[in-house]
Structure 1
Amino acid sequence: MSSADNNPITLSELAGLVRELVDQALGKQSFWVIADVANHNQKNGRHYFDLIEKDAAGIAIIAKLPTRAWAEGAQKISAFKTVTGQAFTTGLKVLSLVSISYNPVYGLQLTLLDVDPNFTLGVLEKQRKDTLLRLVAENPELVRLQDGFYVTFNQGLPLPKVIQRIAVISSTVSAGLEDFQHTLDNNGFGYRFEADIYYSYVQGETNAQSIVDQFITIYKSGISYDAVVLIRGGGSQTDLLIFEQYGIARAIARFPIPVLTGIGHQKNETIADLMAHTALKTPTKVAEYLVAHNRAFADELLSLEKSILIKTQQLLARHHHLLSARKFEISMICETYLNHHKRRLQDKSQGITRLGQSLLMAQQHRLRLLSSGITGRAQLVLYGHERDLMQQRTAIIQQVKGCLEDLGTSLARYQSELELISPERLLNRGFALIKKGGKIISRGDQLAQGNEIAIILADREIKATVDEIKNYDGREVNL
C-alpha cells in the first residue's frame, strides 16, 4: 500500500485531534491530585512546575506532568503560604485541584486551580511523627520519650564551665553566620572564642547527608571542641525541612560533644532542635548564650573571691584576737613567775636577817654570862675576849652581808633570765614563733611539706607553706 493511499494529515491536524479528544473527555472536569512539586519557578506572578509521583522507594519517577498556575491558582498558592507558613516550592507534597488541557506546541498540561494547605500540613506532621517514632524505636540507647519530652544522649553531656573552642556548621554564604561571629567577636566582656567553620548545605532535604558528613568530620578531627553549633539564618518552614531528617537528628542525638542549634525559626521546633543539647531561635541567640554561659562562670568566680575575702578577714580577726589573748596570758604568767620568785627572795632575805640578829643576841647573851661569871680575870683577858668578840661580830656581819649580796645577785640573775625568755625580747632578737593550725610548733617533726604555717615576728605575722624539711644541728646560728 502506498503512502498516498493512507490519506496523510499534517502534524497540527493530528495535534488538533488530540486536543479535541482531551477537551471532549476531560476538558470540563477537574481533579484533586496528590503529587510532589518539582522544578518550581515563578515569573511575573505565575508559577511553572512539574507534578510528579515517585515509586514506593521514593527514588524513581513513575508519573510526571507539567503544571502551571495563573491568576486564580497563583492567589491560592499565596493563601497556601499564609496558612502553612511555608513556601510553595520544589520537594513539597501537595493535594491540588487541577484541570487538564492539551496544547499542540507544549503538549499535555495541568492548570492548578486550588491547593489544600491542610493536606500538606498533615503530611509534614505525619512525616515528623514517623521520624520521631523511628528515632525512639531504632535508637533506644540514644533517644527516649519521657513525660512528653525527648531525652537524648547529647542532652546528658555536661557543658564545660568555660566554652572557648567551638565547631560551627553553616552554609558558605550566610547572614546568620555573620551575625553569629559578630556577636561573639564584639561581646561586652572581652571574651575570646575560637570558632572553626565547617561549611555545609543547610537547605533541601536531599542535602541532609552534607550536614551528617560534617558531624563525622568534626568527630574525626581529634580536636577537643567544647561545643558544636549548627546554625542557619532563617527561612520558610519548607526551607527548614532538612532539619526534620532522620539522619541529622540521629547524628545530633548520638554526638559526644554538646550540640547547640540556632536554625533561625521563630515558631515550631525542628526535630534537630529536639535532639540537640540546647536549642535556640537564631544564630545570634546562640552567640549570646555562649557569652552568657561564660559570664555566669565569671560571676561565680567573683562570688567565690568575695566569699574567700570575707572568710579571710574573719579568720584574721579571730586569730588576731587569739594572739592578743595569748600575749596577755604570757604576760600574766611571766609577771606571776617574777612576783613568786621575788617573794621567795624577800622571805630568804628576811630569814637571813633574823638569823643574824638571833646569832648576835645569842653571842651577846653569852658574853654577858661570861662577863658576870669572870670577876677576877685580868683586864688583858677581858680585852682579849672583847677583841675576839669584835672579830666574831665582824665575821658574822661580813657573812650576813655576803649572804645578802649572794641573794641579791641570784635575784638579779633570775630577773635577767626571765627578761631573756620573755616573748617580746625573743621576738625582738630575731627569733620567731611558728604556728600550725593555730598552735605553736616546737619540734620539726610536727611539720610536713605542704603544711600552711604562720610565722610570728616582732612586728609581723607571715603566712607561708612548708616547701622543704631537713635536719639541723644548730651549729650555724649566728646571733
Structure 2
Amino acid sequence: MFEKLKLSELVEQIQETIIDRFEGEEYWVSAQITNVKKYESNRRCYLTLEDYENREKTAEMRAVFWSNSYGEIEKFENTTKQIFKNGIEIICKVKIRFHKVYGFNLDVLQIDIAHTIGSLELLRQQTIERLLKENPKTIQLYDGVFKTFNNRLPLPLLIKSIALITAPNSDGQRDFLQETLKNKYGYSFEVKEFLTTIQGDNAHKLILEQLKLIEMSKIQFDVIAIVRGGGSQTDFKPFDDYDLCQYVANFPIPIFTGIGHDRNQSIVDLMAREQKTPTKVASLFVECNFEFENKLIELKTNFFDAIAQQIQNAKDDLNHAKRIVKLASPDAILNRGFAIITINNKIVTNPNDIKENTEIQTILRNETIFSTVTKKTKNEERTEL
C-alpha cells in the first residue's frame, strides 16, 4: 500500500524546500515583460517575465511589484522617458515567493534603469548612424548640429496656411489653436488639422501616414506643425523611429516640432525645426508674421521718406534756378551798373548791328539816353571787369 499525501501536505513540503533554499536570496535577472497590468490606486503591478532564445520562449514566470517597490516603475518612466509596457527588456532584482494557493511568482524589488537607458541610447545611436549613412545628401552632421534637407528649407516671409498633426481633443491641439487663432496681433491663419494618435506602439506609422496625406494634398501649405501635449511625458519612442525620421528629414515643406519635453531631444526634433511645446511653435509662427509686418511698415516709411526727400531736392534745385534767372534779369544787370543798348526798342547783342549815324538808346538804371553813333572803334584786349 503506497503512502498518500494530501495536496496541501505536498505543497507545504514544496514551500518548506523553497524556503530552505531561497529564503533571503535575491537575484538579478534579465527578461522581457508582458501582460503588464498596473493599478496606480493601490500601487501594484502584475506582469509576466519571459525569456527567449532564437525567438522561442524558454522560460516564463509571473511577477509582482508591490506597493513598496511600485516607485521603481515611476522612476523607470521618468528617467528613461518611456512607458513601462509590454515588450520592454529589463534587468531587475527579484526574490522568489511561493504561495500554497497561488503558486510561484517573483517579487520585483528593483529595476536596473542604467541598463535600460544604455539599451535605448544604443538603439538611438544606431538609428542616427543609419540615417547619416543611408541619406548622405540630405542628412549631415556639422559640429554637432544636424543639417537636413527639411530644416534648411527657406521659410516663407508670411505664414498663412498651416498643416497641424496632433491628437484629437489633446492639450497640444488646444494650446496650438489658442495661440494661433486668437493671437494678440489679430493675424489670420488657415489651420488644417490632421488628427491621429501621437503616442503608443504604432504612433510613428500613424504620423507617417498623415505626412503622406499632406504631401498628396492639393493644398499649398506654408509650414507643418507636429505637436503633442497632455499625454504621457515618457513615451517619446515613436519620434525615434527610422522611417518617420527619414521622411521628416526629406519632406519638402518646413516641419516644426513641439512634442513637449524640455530635457531630451527626439531624433525627429533633430531632423526638423524644434520648439519645446505646441504653444512655442504657434508663437514662432505669429512672431514670424509680426516681423514681416514690421518690415512692410519700415519699407513703407522708407519709401515715403525717399519720395519726400526727392521732392525737397527738386524744390531746392528750382529755387537755385530761380536765383540764377533773377541774377540774369535786365533789372539785376542795370542795378549792378551795366547798361543795355537798344535800336528801335530791340536789344543789341552784336556790335556789328550798330552802324555810324544810327540812333541808339542807352538804358541805365534810372534813365535812358538817346544818342546818334558818330564813330566806332575796336577795344584793345583788357582784363575783365
Q: Same fold (TM over 0.5)?
A: yes
Question: Is 1:293 the counterpart of 2:288 in the alignment?
Answer: yes
Aligned to 1:139: 135
Please list the CA deviations of residues 399-448 of structure 1 after superposition, one character each: whole Å capped at 9, or x if unmatched: xxxxx9xxxxxxxxxxxxxxxxxxxxxxxxxxxxxxxxxxxxxxxxxxxx
Stretches of structure 2 that go unaligned for 5 or more consecutive residues are 349-353, 360-369, 371-385
TM-superposed deviation, 1:25: 5.2
Which SS does the other structure have where 1:205 is aligned? coil
CA separation in 2, counterparts of 1:326 and 1:348?
26
Verify: 1:181 aligned to 2:177, yes or no: yes
Could you say which residue in structure 1 is the equivalent of 2:212? Answer: 216
Distance of 1:346 and 1:104 partners within structure 2: 148
State the Cα distance separating 1:145 from its structure 2 match.
1.4
Matches within 5 A, 1:237-256: 238-256=234-252
In the superposition, relative to structure 1, how do residues 220 and 332 fare at CA in structure 2: closer, same or farther (>3 Å)? same
Shift of 1:69: 1.0
1:128 positional shift: 1.5
One-letter amino acid of the counterpart of residue 343, structure 2: L
Q: Does 1:159 align with 2:155?
A: yes
> What are the superposed Cα offsets for residues 62-108 of structure 1, whole Å, 9 maximum, x if unpaired?
65432111133224444445655665444543221012334455443
Which of 89, 95, 99 is matched with 1:99 structurally? 95
In 2, distance between residues paired with 1:6 and 1:154? 80
When residues 53 and 307 of structure 1 are mapped into structure 2, their CA distance, relative to the original with a 3 A threshold, is: farther
The answer for the alignment partner of 2:38 in structure 1 is 41
Asked if the contact 1:154/1:257 (under 8 Å) is kept, the reply is yes
**Equivalent residues in 2 for 1:294-443 (5 A)?**
294-329=289-324, 335=330, 343-345=341-343, 354=357
- Which of 253, 260, 267 is the equivalent residue of 1:264? 260
Q: 1: distance between equivalents of 2:19 and 2:215?
A: 61
In structure 2, what residue type is equivalent to 1:193?
A: F
Q: Residues 208-242 of structure 1, C-alpha deviation per residue, up to 9 Å, x if partnerless?
A: 11111111111111321101100000555531222
Give, in whole Å, the separation in 2 of the partners of 1:156 and 1:82. Answer: 33
Distance 1:325 1:275, change over 3 A: same
Alpha-carbon offset, residue 206 of structure 1: 3.2
Taking the aligned partners of 2:169 and 2:20, their CA distance within structure 1 comes to: 52
Mapping for residues 4-153 of structure 1, pairs under 5 Å: 23=19, 26=22, 28-38=24-34, 39-43=36-40, 44-53=42-51, 63-81=59-77, 84=80, 88-103=84-99, 105-153=101-149
SS at match of 1:203: coil
- Report the alpha carbon displacement of residue 280 of structure 1 after superposing the two structures with TM: 0.5
Alpha-carbon shift at residue 272 of structure 1 (Å): 1.1
Instruction: Please give the alpha-carbon distance, in whole angstroms, between the structure 2 residues aligned to 1:312 and 1:348.
Output: 45
* 1:36–1:94 Cα contact (<8 Å) kept: yes
What letter is aligned with 1:147? Answer: D
Is the alpha carbon distance of 1:249 and 1:18 closer, same or farther for their aligned partners in structure 2, counting shifts above 3 Å?
farther
Q: Which has the higher contact order (CA 8 A, sep 6+)?
A: 2
Pick closer, same or farther for the CA change 1:237–1:95 going to 2, 3 Å: farther
SS at 2:296 equivalent: helix
The structure carrying a bigger strand percent of its residues is 2
* Separation in structure 2 between the aligned mates of residue 265 and residue 196 of structure 1, nearest angstrom: 24
Cα–Cα, structure 1 residues 33 and 75, in superposed 2: closer, same or farther, change >3 Å? same
Structure 1: distance between partners of 2:93 and 2:150: 44
* TM-score where L is the length of structure 1: 0.64
Please give the alpha-carbon distance, in whole angstroms, between the structure 2 residues aligned to 1:215 and 1:172: 16
The residue type paired with residue 282 of structure 2 is: A
CA RMSD of aligned residues (A): 3.5
Contact 1:92 1:238 in 2 (8 A): no
Contact 2:81 2:235 in 1 (8 A): no
Q: 1:171 is matched with which residue?
A: 167
Task: Tell me which amino acid in the other structure corresponds to 2:39.
Answer: Q
Offset of residue 254 of structure 1: 0.9
C-alpha separation between the residues in 2 aligned to 1:229 and 1:20?
Answer: 62
Between structure 1 and structure 2, the one with the greater Rg is 1
Asked whether the 8 Å contact 1:235–1:265 carries over to 2, the reply is no
Helix, strand or coil at the partner of 2:252: coil
Conserved in 1, the CA contact under 8 Å of 2:92 and 2:108? yes
Change (3 A) 1:36 1:306: farther
Identity of aligned residues (%): 32
What SS is found at the alignment partner of 1:109? strand
Q: How many residues align?
A: 350
In the aligned structure 2, how far is the partner of 1:109 from the partner of 1:285?
48
Q: Secondary structure at the match of 1:238?
A: coil
Question: 1:180 offset after TM fit, Å?
Answer: 0.7
The one-letter code of the counterpart of 2:304 is: L
1:281 corresponds to which residue? 276
DSSP 3-state at the match of 2:264? coil
Corresponding residue SS for 1:34: strand
- Rounded Cα–Cα distance in structure 1 between residues aligned with 2:2 and 2:249: 70
Amino acid in structure 2 at the alignment position of 1:145: L
Q: How far apart are residue 333 of structure 1 and its match?
A: 6.0
The normalised TM-score by structure 2 is 0.78
Query: What is the CA–CA distance in structure 1 between the aligned matches of 2:57 and 2:342, rounded to whole Å?
Result: 123
